[in-house]
Structure 1
Amino acid sequence: MYGQVAAVEDLSLTVHRGEFLTILGPSGSGKTTALMLLAGFVAPTKGDILIAGKSVAAVPSYRRDQGIVFQSYALFPHLTVRRNLEFPLEMRGMKAADRTTRVDRILERVHLKEFSGRMPSQLSGGQQQRVALARALIADPPILLLDEPLGALDRNLREQMQGEIKSLHREFGKTTICVTHDQDEALTLSDRIVVMRAGRIEQSDSPEALYDRPATRFVANFLGEANILDNPGFAVDSDATQPSGTMAMIRPERICVAAPTAPKRVDADKRQFIAGIVSDMIYAGPLRKYQVRVGCTVLTVREHVASGQEIFRPGDNVRIDWLRSDVRFVAV
């Protein structure tokens, strides 16, 4: 509770040993509070937190045997890379020779051995992030907590570090809980994603299941782009019966666009075809995004750019189609 506001409410979550779980949500959804509860920086007003079956709700953070990586990295600015890594081992009373061996081993693993004598200010953002990860792992904690770990990096470096974090998780096998608002990051890294909204869990599932079968309109829109067919002005065909209280939804990349006279696909009997007019086209490198108006509805169509592809401009008449099996139904 923050005053009279419950930042997290009715949160019940089990994390499996060795799992990479990501808590995903917009600002104010309660995801960071959930991580701070796990880390021991915030005490629950009610309920309990169990690690390996034992309550830790009253255990201070420094006694929980967890590695933590913050968005700001939180490196000691007055210590070299090596000393930053040695510090947590010193606090545990490890002998100097053993500290040296362990620091050398993890510096080698994160490709920073030649930077061991540098200060954090002499490192790039990606190098600082690797030092922060190494420091969180060096004492061999069973649990690793990541708080928006890549938020301070530019896009290319962020994608590179996603691969590094995934590789470290496979190698060390730590139970990892990550908090982020970045959907691509969550989809790339996670074994399971928990989507939070207003302090509660909206849906929890594997990345593939969440993206392909979102339970609610909120999840569909938050995890990627979605065409919500709410009174679209045309009948939506589907292989499944629409449950009451739901809306039809289809992902933009599941829709194909073609000229009205183009030959239909071999699986045309499994598809729904609709005529439309292009209202906008956006070129984004490997992708081309169309906004296609169908009556009173505008649908987003996303296709991968390929050589020889026909390109449509605003005002062009087109035919769009999708597999009836690709239509999903989401709760309001």
Structure 2
Amino acid sequence: MYGAVAAVKALSLIVPRGEFLTILGPSGSGKTTALMLLAGFVAPSEGDILIAGRSVASVPSYRRDQGIVFQNYALFPHLTVHRNLEFPLEMRGIKAAGRVRQVDRMLERVHLSGFGGRMPSQLSGGQQQRVALARALIADPPFLLLDEPLGALDRNLREQMQGELKSLHREFGTTTICVTHDQEEALTLSDRIVVMRAGIIEQTDTPAGLYDRPETRFVATFLGEANILDNARFRIESDAAPPSGTVAMLRPERICVASDAAPKRADDALRQFITGTVEDMIYAGPFRKYHVRVGNDLIVAREQAASGQQIFLSGDRVRLDWLRSDIRFVRT
């Protein structure tokens, strides 16, 4: 509780050993508070936190056997890279010779051999992130907490570090809980994703499950783009009857864009077809996004860019089609 405001409400999660779980949500959703509770920086106003069956709700952070990586890395600026990695081992009473061996092995693992004598200020952002990860993992904690771990990196470096994080997780098998607002990061890294909204869990599932089978309008629109067809003027065809209290949803990449006169395909009997007028075409490198006006409705379609592909411009009449099985129904 923050005064009369409950930042997290009725949060109930079980994280199996070795899982990479991401808590995803917009600002104010409660995801950071959830991480602070797990880290021991915030005490729960009610309920309990169990690690391997043992309550740690009243255990201070420095007595919890955990690794933590913050968005700003939180490296000791007055210590060398080697001493930053050595510190958690020293706190655990490991002798000097053993500390040196472990630090050298870990620096080699994160591709920073030869950087042990540098100060954090002499490293790039990606190198500092590797040091922060190495320091969090070097004492082999039973679980690892990541607070927006890649948020300070540029896109290319962020994608590179996503691969490094996945590799480290496979190698060490450390139970990992990550907090982020970056949907792509969550989809790339996670075994499971928890989507939070206004302090409660909206949905928990695998990345594929959340993206392909969102349960609510919020999850569908927060995790990627979605056409919500609640006011569609055309009849929506689907292989399943819509449950009560739901609206139809269609992902833009499930939609095929073709000319009005395009020939039929072998699976046309499984598809729904509509026609419309292109209002805008947005080129985004590997894909093109079309905004197509169908009566009063604006449909967004996205297709991979390929050589020899027909490109449609504003004012062109086009045919849109999709598999009826790609229609999903989400609660409002």
Decide which moves more: 88-97 or 15-24.
88-97
2:47 and 2:154 map into 1 onto residues whose CA distance is 39
Distance across 1 between alignment mates of 2:162 and 2:64: 26
1:47 aligns with 2:10: no
1:307 Cα deviation (Å)?
0.7
1:252 aligned onto 2:244: no
CA shift at 1:184, angstroms?
A: 0.1
> 1:263: which partner in 2?
263
Q: Distance in 2 between matches of 1:92 and 1:169?
A: 23
Q: What is the rounded CA distance, in whole Å, between the counterparts of 2:92 and 2:230 in structure 1? A: 59
Q: CA offsets, 1:205-257, max 9 Å, x none?
A: 00000000000000000000000001210110000010110000000000000
Query: 1:79 matched to which residue of 2?
Result: 79
Q: How far does residue 114 in structure 1 lie from its aligned partner after superposition?
A: 1.6
Q: 1:125-145 CA deviation, whole Å, 9 max, x = no partner? A: 000000000000011101000
Point out where structure 2 has 5 or more consecutive residues left out of the alignment: none
Aligned pairs (5 A) from 1:312-331: 312-331=312-331
SS in 2 for 1:115: coil
Residue number in structure 2 paired with 1:130? 130
Partner amino acid, structure 2, of 1:289: K
Distance 2:164 2:78 in 1: 26
CA-CA distance at 1:92 after TM superposition? 1.2
Counterpart residue identity of residue 317, structure 2? N
Aligned partner of 1:296 in structure 2 is 296
Structure 2: distance between partners of 1:172 and 1:264: 51
| Aligned pairs (5 A) from 1:133-148 | 133-148=133-148
Task: Name the residue aligned to 1:101.
Answer: 101
Question: Which residue is 1:3 aligned to?
Answer: 3
Query: What amino acid is the match of 2:202?
Result: E
CA distance in 2 between counterparts of 1:259 and 1:266 reads 17
Counterpart amino acid of residue 112 in structure 1: L
Percent of pairs with identical residues:
80
Query: For 2:114, what is the secondary structure of its paired residue?
Result: helix
How far is the alpha carbon of 1:329 from its aligned partner? 0.2
1:65-95 deviation per Cα after TM superposition (whole angstroms, max 9, x unaligned): 0000000000001111001001111111110
Give the structure 2 partner of residue 215 of structure 1.
215
* Alignment-derived partner of residue 150 in structure 2: 150
**TM-score, normalising length from structure 2?**
1.00
> Offset of 1:264 from its aligned partner?
1.8
Where 1:111 maps in the other structure, the secondary structure is coil
Q: Structure 1 residue 266: deviation in Å? A: 1.1
Task: For 1:89, give the aligned amino acid.
Answer: L
Alpha-carbon distance, 1:204 to partner: 0.1
SS for the counterpart of 2:45 is: coil
Q: Structure 1: which 5+ residue stretches go unaligned?
A: none
TM-superposed deviation, 1:26: 0.2
Q: Structure 2 CA distance, aligned partners of 1:119 and 1:183?
A: 33
Deviation at 1:13, TM superposition (A): 0.5
Q: Distance in 2 between matches of 1:43 and 1:110?
A: 34
Residue 20 of structure 1 and its aligned partner are, at CA, apart by 0.2
Matches for 1:132-211 after TM superposition, within 5 Å:
132-211=132-211
Look up the SS of the partner of 1:107 in the other structure.
Answer: helix
Q: In the TM superposition, what is the alpha-carbon distance from 1:316 to its structure 2 partner?
A: 0.3
Equivalent-residue separation in structure 1 for 2:117 and 2:279 (angstroms): 57
CA distance in 2, matches of 1:93, 1:50: 26
**Displacement of 1:108:** 0.4
Cα distance in 2 for residues equivalent to 1:17 and 1:91: 25
State the superposition RMSD in angstroms: 0.5
1:60 maps to what in 2? 60
Question: What is the identity, as a one-letter code, of the residue corresponding to 2:43?
Answer: A
Of 88-97 and 184-193, deviating more is 88-97
Residue 308 of structure 2 corresponds to 308
**CA deviation profile, 1:148-175 (whole Å, cap 9, x unmatched):** 0000000000000000000000000000
**Count of aligned residue pairs for this structure pair:** 332
Q: Provide Cα deviations, 1:73-125, integer angstroms capped at 9, x if missing partner.
A: 00001111001001111111110000001001100000001211111111010
CA–CA separation in structure 2 for the residues paired with 1:300 and 1:222: 16
The letter for the 2-side match of 1:256 is C
Give distance in 2, aligned partners of 1:113 and 1:63.
30
Give the secondary structure class of the aligned counterpart of 1:113: coil
